[in-house]
């Protein structure tokens, strides 16, 4: 049962344009969401998070949007840079009870110079 | 601040052999996680320690996998005997908090190939 889905395995974007990465979840009990970035041969690094009490969180070039009714979140990167080329994972968790992060399968972003 | 350290970085073994991975979390971090990431999938939690107690090991294949966290600091994950399907990257992560963690810090991982 894939509770967190990233349906696009890969995405290519021109440098300077917007990158939009999508993530869907099925468990309505999830109330905290993270995005991680992963370079080859390195561990995932935290990028940005959002709580279910918000619908948007912004940090520099990165913005995460949460649509609870659609059980959908998206990560926007504006403007995209070649150094953003990596695999991006979304993860979701409950913050009470049985809490553990469930990760999506990742989207490989390639930013073309 | 030093990050999460893991060793070895790469390991190749034959099926039915045993293997052990080591993790040193960020100093002072109370919670330690082991994840398994199979190629093309996201990380899957195997076991979570708070200090040196197990919080969640529901997805750990206990017939072949074992893990311990010594004195609430370093941790080892062992597989005995290994199967072909254990080929994956094993990621260790830590968090300063007990309870729910808003952020986890990952090590570089150990890539295991079982032939």
**Using the beta-carbon criterion (under 8 Å), do B42 and A89 form an inter-chain contact?**
yes
Residue A1: pLDDT band with limits 50, 70, 90: low
Mutation site for B-interface testing, chosen from A30, A95, A101, A108 by largest number of B Cβ within 10 Å: A101
**Nearest CB to B106 within list A4, A41, A44:** A44
Residue B46's Cβ-count burial label (10 Å; 0-12, 13-18, 19+) is buried
Across-strand partners of B48? Answer: B33, B56
**Smallest Cα distance from B55 to chain A, Å:** 10
Mutation site for A-interface testing, chosen from B5, B10, B32, B42 by largest number of A Cβ within 10 Å: B42
pLDDT at A33 over 90: yes
Average pLDDT over residues B1-30: 95
**Nearest CB to B42 within list A32, A98, A103:** A103
Cβ distance A62 to A76 under 8 Å?
yes
Question: How far apart (Å, rounded) are the C-alpha atoms in residues B11 and B26?
Answer: 23
**The three-state (H, E, C) secondary structure of chain B, written as one string:** CCCCEEECCEEEECCCCCEEEEEECCCCCCEEEEEEECCCCCCEEEEEEECCEEEECCCCCCCCEEEEEHHHCCEEEEECCCCHHHCEEEEEEEECCCCCCCCCEECCCEEEEEC
**Using the beta-carbon criterion (under 8 Å), do B56 and A100 form an inter-chain contact?**
yes
- Cβ-based contacts of A93 with chain B (< 8 Å): 100
Summarize pLDDT for B42-69 with one digit per residue, the tens. Answer: 999 999 999 889 999 999 999 999 999 9
**Using the beta-carbon criterion (under 8 Å), do A100 and B107 form an inter-chain contact?**
no
How high is the pLDDT of residue B90? 98
Cβ distance A62 to A46 under 8 Å?
no
**Using the beta-carbon criterion (under 8 Å), do B43 and A103 form an inter-chain contact?**
yes
Summarize pLDDT for A55-104 with one digit per residue, the tens. Answer: 999 999 999 999 999 999 999 999 999 999 999 999 999 988 778 899 99
Average pLDDT over residues B88-111: 92
- Cβ-based contacts of B56 with chain A (< 8 Å): 98, 100
Mutation site for B-interface testing, chosen from A24, A44, A88 by largest number of B Cβ within 10 Å: A44
**Smallest Cα distance from A6 to chain B, Å:** 10
| Any A CB within 8 A of B91 CB | yes
pLDDT at B24 over 80: yes
Residue A95's Cβ-count burial label (10 Å; 0-12, 13-18, 19+) is middle
């Amino acid at each position: 049962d894939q509770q967190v889905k990233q349906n696009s395995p890969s995405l290519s974007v021109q440098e300077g344009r917007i990158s939009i990465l999508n993530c869907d979840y099925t468990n309505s009990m999830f109330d905290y969401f993270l995005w991680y970035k992963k370079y080859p041969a390195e561990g995932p690094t935290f990028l940005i998070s959002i709580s279910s009490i918000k619908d948007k969180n912004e940090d520099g070039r990165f913005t995460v949007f949460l649509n609870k009714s659609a059980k959908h979140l998206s990560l926007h990167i504006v403007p995209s840079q070649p150094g953003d080329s990596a695999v991006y994972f979304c993860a979701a968790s409950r913050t009470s009870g049985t809490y553990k992060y469930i990760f999506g399968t990742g989207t490989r972003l390639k930013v073309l110079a | 601040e030093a990050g999460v350290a893991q060793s070895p970085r790469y390991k190749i073994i034959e099926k039915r052999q045993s293997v052990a991975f080591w993790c040193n979390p960020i100093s002072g971090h109370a919670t330690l996680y082991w994840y398994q990431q199979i190629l093309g999938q996201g990380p899957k939690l195997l076991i979570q320690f708070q200090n040196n107690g197990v919080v969640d090991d529901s997805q750990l294949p206990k017939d072949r996998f074992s893990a311990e966290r010594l004195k609430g600091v370093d941790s080892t994950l062992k597989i005995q005997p290994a199967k072909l399907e254990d080929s994956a990257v094993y990621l260790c992560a830590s968090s300063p908090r007990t309870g729910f963690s808003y952020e986890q810090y990952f090590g570089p991982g150990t890539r295991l190939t079982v032939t």
